[in-house]
Amino acid sequence: MQSNTGSYKRVLMGPGPSDVDPRVLEALSRPTIGHLDPAFLGILNEIRTLLQYVFKTNNQMTLAMSGTGSAGMETCVVNLIEPGEPMLVCVNGVFGKRMSDVATRAGADVSTLEVAWGQVFDPEAIDQVLRRKPAKLVGIVHAETSTGARQPIEEVSRVVHSHGALLLVDTVTSLGGIEVNVDGWQIDACYSGTQKCLSCPPGLSPVTFSEAALQTLEKRKTKVQSWYLDLTLIRQYWGSERLYHHTAPINMNYALLEALRIVKEEGLENRWNRHWTNHCMLKKGLAAIGINYVAQAGHELPMLNAVSVPEGVDDAAVRKQLLEQFGIEIGAGLGAFKGKVWRIGLMGAASTKSNVLLFLAALENCLSDQGHKFPKGASIAAAIESK
């Protein structure tokens, strides 16, 4: 669907980016000012305060790195790891795999613990691995966007700390959609992204470091491998010195501030509840037409619904029709799930009842066109019933 201004109008129900609130788009278009302008420094301070709210942390080192979620991943790894140091990465999908790749490139002595895609980690298994081989840092993904599985963090944190290691958690997809409790769960380093449940365009990566992580950074014997992501330098810009490091992406920071204000206005808990309610509605609707989730039962993410493509249905043709006829974007399966799974996002501003109903109606239309047999209208009836 192309509007007469030449811009595209879409309903973004994929694995990110998600729909952006018009208030955020308006913020993005405000006049650019200097990165050392006191007005802009005030904006950075407000972003820090609001990020502390969404991360549930008092960490002083809380900031938005310039770059997407993957830059946050790399920031955490390169600042906490020196060449040759042991790191354990838990891999149950694309993003755990990416973290192990980043750590290997950073010169870490990387071990991985793997479980099947869609499954989550038993803290006991992590304990076993750390008994055999201690690690300085343990990395895990809270919300694995490639499989739709939610990893409980608290118990993992206890195990990791009982071995004297630091805990690194990827919350790119979870932040703003389900609880992320950095202080309560004693997470040492945590990163996220702007374009998933915060509903801001992609371009910044919120990062927070605990006291223990900061001490590790201060005790380094070698320079951080990446100049651009070196927090010992960047903290002098975000801190009171306000020393130039690189030019902050000014307008992206306006956008993030506005997106965070929207989160604060709604209230974190209300936001988690909204994500949960709309997920339940979608799940009931899909179940009524025989479409099932692939993540471990009881661990399904509300913002990323990974479901099996029904037998005999052409995955790519349905996604193409959804986009071209209805303007709805959903995600394809990655890696082991390629061609077999659809990833339906209900992230941030896109998590609405109307999007659930729109999607179910459009999906039934596409499945009918494929000659797929199912009880027509049942998904919508079940979704309405679930409210």
Ligand X SMILES: *Cc1c(COP(=O)(O)O)cnc(C)c1O
Binding site for ligand X (CB under 6 A): 16, 68-70, 73, 95, 141, 143, 145, 170, 172-173, 193, 202
Tokens for 58?
């008092």
Determine the Cα–Cα distance for residues 202 and 64; give it in Å rounded to an integer. Answer: 12
Determine the Cα–Cα distance for residues 327 and 271; give it in Å rounded to an integer. Answer: 25
| Residue whose token pair is 């609001």 | 50
Q: Report yes or no: 46 and 252 within 8 Å, Cβ to Cβ.
A: no
DSSP one-letter string for 270-285:
HHHHHHHHHHHHHHHH
Identify which of residues 94 and 362 has a Cβ nearer to ligand X in the complex: 94
Those residues whose C-beta lies under 8 Å from the C-beta of residue 107, and which sit 6 or more positions away, are 81, 82, 83, 84, 225
| Residue whose token pair is 């790195």 | 65
Identify which of residues 145 and 379 has a Cβ nearer to ligand X in the complex: 145
What amino acid occupies position 185? W
Tokens for 345?
């996002």
Q: Report yes or no: 303 and 275 within 8 Å, Cβ to Cβ.
A: yes
CB of 68 to ligand X, least distance (A): 3
Identify which of residues 20 and 366 has a Cβ nearer to ligand X in the complex: 20
Q: How far is CA 352 from the centre of its chain?
A: 18
CB of 244 to ligand X, least distance (A): 25
CB of 71 to ligand X, least distance (A): 7
CB of 288 to ligand X, least distance (A): 28
Determine the Cα–Cα distance for residues 145 and 305; give it in Å rounded to an integer. Answer: 9
Residue whose C-beta lies closest to ligand X: 69
Identify which of residues 69 and 118 has a Cβ nearer to ligand X in the complex: 69
| Residue 169 CB neighbours (<10 A) | 25
CB of 170 to ligand X, least distance (A): 5
CB of 345 to ligand X, least distance (A): 10
Determine the Cα–Cα distance for residues 340 and 333; give it in Å rounded to an integer. Answer: 6
Tokens for 107?
């010169």
Identify which of residues 251 and 370 has a Cβ nearer to ligand X in the complex: 251
Identify which of residues 91 and 141 has a Cβ nearer to ligand X in the complex: 141
CB of 17 to ligand X, least distance (A): 9
CB of 202 to ligand X, least distance (A): 5
CA within 13 Å, CB half, 347: 34
Identify which of residues 307 and 383 has a Cβ nearer to ligand X in the complex: 307
Identify which of residues 145 and 351 has a Cβ nearer to ligand X in the complex: 145
